[in-house]
Structure 1
């Protein structure tokens, strides 16, 4: 790359195997072949749900004030596990120059805001492969980002295993 400064690449990470596959695919295709001088600055972003949104999924909870700290602790543990797994994967591929961020909020908004914050030229997200009904109910992070992120969005799909 002729530019002195590398273009930022944001990769969304979560605790799914689809996310792990997308990160591994990205490392293999953009970083490992040129590990001495990768073309991008790698930024991993994990969107940690708010405790109230996590509890809100099941409806109103009696004694929510007592439950929220427990939910927050669990969400922090999950975030730490996601970050550790992603760092281990990067290290196993000899990719050490990585910025990792955990940002509280909805993944759709967190990733689009990370693109803006870092002036990313590309956003990589994994595809969960939801069908139309699940996508309509749960919403698709990749679909939202492809329409709202102000950069190229690469959606990495894990190949289906043939029996």
Structure 2
């Protein structure tokens, strides 16, 4: 079985990763005796992080109506910062997997997270997608959009949306 867990910098996505590891990987190879292992019995997890592409927008400059493109150095700096952030996020995710003795692979992609995640589930033939939920209400979700809601309706596989624990949702 092939599971994909989407993570970003939010605590909710890491909670979803921990939840998935605790509930899906009960019989991971590290917890089953070697004599009891059979090929194909275990879940494989891919942790995916999607970065938004940097758009070289025009920035208005004063009241004269002039505008400028971001310089090449600014674009390179932003891309480098995004790469470093992705590396930190995936390193944290891999450490959680290691602590729970589950082997995982990581994947960094660029684009609109909801579209890229759904495309990746189809291309990688994922059996289950796990995403976290920020716990937005109906009105906020309608205005802000929701990656988890979009994935639930458009992914090519079953989707588990892991809500934050009750005490976290109540403190908002």
TM-score range, shorter chain: 0.7 to 0.9
Question: What's the CA shift string for 1:96-146, capped at 9, x where partnerless?
Answer: 2x1210001111011101111111111100001122343233210011001
CA contact (8 A) 1:49 1:104 kept: yes
Superposed counterparts of 1:96-107, under 5 Å: 96=103, 98-107=104-113
The TM-score normalised by the length of structure 1 is 0.84
Task: Note the aligned Cα RMSD (angstroms).
Answer: 2.0
Tell me the distance in 2 between the aligned counterparts of 1:45 and 1:142.
14
The TM-score normalised by the length of structure 2 is 0.80
Instruction: Say which SS state the counterpart of residue 4 (structure 2) adopts.
Output: strand
2:43 is aligned to 40
Of 87-96 and 132-141, deviating more is 132-141
Instruction: Say which SS state the counterpart of residue 51 (structure 1) adopts.
Output: coil
Select the structure of larger CA radius of gyration.
2
Question: What's the CA shift string for 1:64-111, capped at 9, x where partnerless?
Answer: 124222211111111011100000000010112x12100011110111
* Unmatched runs of 5 consecutive residues or more in structure 2: 30-36, 61-67
Tell me the distance in 2 between the aligned counterparts of 1:102 and 1:40.
20
